[in-house]
Structure 1
Amino acid sequence: MIVKSPAPTSRGRRTRAALLQAGREAFEEHGYDAVRIDDVCKRARVSHGTFYTYFASKEALFGEVAEAVVGEMFAASVVGAAAPDDPYARIEAANRLYLRAWATNSRLVRMVEQAATGDDRFGRLLLELREVFVRRGAEGLRRLQEQGLADPSLDPRLTAIMLGGMVEHFAHVWLDLGERADEQVAVDHLTRLWAQAIGLTPASSSAEEGV
């Protein structure tokens, strides 16, 4: 875990937040290698020396930016209680939210993946990001199996890893590599593939709900 420097005062917290925001913007615009500490300080309107009050290095700043992105992606993709109870509709909502979270953060996620090749901290961070999605998907599948709505022979964790990998890879190809697809069409296809893979269809889930 990356150790964070304390910021005991309101002014200190504001300065630290300004540096984090400035770093994030700089990394997104120019990529990790091209960003200098002076660039971040200029954006945050602080001195070079002030930077080192809060961060030991550019690497430390990037580490905290990466941690924030992981948290934001998870929070942004939580379906929540407001979504329909129908299982198919909840899978659809989860896929849509994930794609939108990826669209907002994809450049930084790719930077974290690159950093992970040379730094175990970022490799662990990526595993943490994937683990929260895998755990959520496995728990959801397990509930559907208990309700008789999904294939009981499937291993929940392995299934969540494989289907989650499908969604993640599509997000990369679509949003990072430029594959053309309408969002609704993409969400519809992902949801049908996910549902069919676990033995769930809109018709069967609606019948279970008494529709």
Structure 2
Amino acid sequence: MWPISRKDDVTLQDGSRSDTGIATAPVAPTRPSQQEKPTTQRGWRTRGALVAAARELFEEKGFRDTRISDIAERSGTSYGTFYHYFETKDDVLHELFSVVAGEMFTASQTTGAVGDDAITKIEAANRQYFTAAARNARLIAVIDEMAIRDDRFRTLKLQIRDLFLRRNEAGIRHLQRTGDVEPSLDPTIAAAALGGMIEHFTQMWFIHGAKFDEDAAITTLTRLWSQALGLK
């Protein structure tokens, strides 16, 4: 996904407005839970151990084959301890999904440090996004599987994806205003198509095991993105 660091007015998920063109990270809707948040450092460490253990197991065994007792055993806690912090393992995956999405959203942002040239920014964002995607590929595969099976995760994935796309759309609109992109190009469709290209490519590469040279892949995708927008 291509981040936009220029200022554009965007409506965020909570209905507020941002004059930066982006939200700092995708904020997933909070799942209702009766469990209280930890009030001590030890409690946070225990909760963190449960989340870390769940991630390892989801990536190793898949979500459906991971039992709560497995998570408790891997984390060095107990079955009852899990339920002190979470109602279901769905809650843990929901939290992991939100964290990973936020990491990838933030990773694909660029700043003035990479230069003001749009193509340079696209290349830097692609490289950073691919690094984050590679690091989180196995969990992303779990999330994608659940999004097919479960309406709650499908809705969450679409909401987070929409935040990426609206950031890209805001950037394209900015480039149209500056005369760098043809004004007749539909920015919404362009953002969805180009973002989908990057998303699908990373899935084939990091999840399904297709082999590509990293530098060649990033250079080629950046060229495709830039040429599609008519950037020079």
Q: TM-score, normalised by structure 1?
A: 0.89
May I ask how many residue pairs the two structures share in their alignment?
Answer: 201
State the AA in 2 paired with 1:111.
V
Q: Distance in 1 between matches of 2:132 and 2:72?
A: 28
Equivalent residue for 1:153, pick from 184, 187, 192: 184
Q: Cα deviations across residues 40-68 of structure 1 (Å, max 9, x unaligned)?
A: 11221111111110011222222222222
State the AA in 2 paired with 1:15.
T
Deviating 4+ runs (over 6 angstroms) = none
Q: Secondary structure at the match of 2:149?
A: coil
Alignment-derived partner of residue 158 in structure 2? 127
Matched, 1:53 2:84: yes
Equivalent residue for 2:71, pick from 40, 43, 67: 40
Q: Distance in 2 between matches of 1:37 and 1:141?
A: 45
Q: Distance in 2 between matches of 1:43 and 1:132?
A: 34
**Contact 2:141–2:207 (8 Å) recurs in 1:** no
Matched, 1:141 2:184: no
**Structure 1 regions of 5+ residues with no counterpart?**
202-211
Equivalent residue for 1:100, pick from 110, 131, 146: 131
Alignment-derived partner of residue 21 in structure 1? 52
**Contact 1:18–1:44 (8 Å) recurs in 2:** yes
Equivalent residue for 1:3, pick from 26, 32, 53: 32
Equivalent residue for 1:69, pick from 95, 100, 114: 100
Q: Structure 1 residue 34: deviation in Å?
A: 2.1
**Structure 2 regions of 5+ residues with no counterpart?**
1-28
- Percent identity between matched residues is 46
Q: Structure 1 residue 177: deviation in Å?
A: 2.1
**Contact 2:47–2:85 (8 Å) recurs in 1:** yes
Alignment-derived partner of residue 207 in structure 1? none
Higher relative contact order (CA 8 A, sep 6+): 2
Q: Cα deviations across residues 86-133 of structure 1 (Å, max 9, x unaligned)?
A: 111001111111211211112222222221233222112211221122
Higher helix share: 1
Q: Structure 1 residue 80: deviation in Å?
A: 2.7
Q: Cα deviations across residues 118-152 of structure 1 (Å, max 9, x unaligned)?
A: 32221122112211221111111111111111111
Q: Distance in 1 between matches of 2:211 and 2:147?
A: 29
Q: Structure 1 residue 192: deviation in Å?
A: 0.5
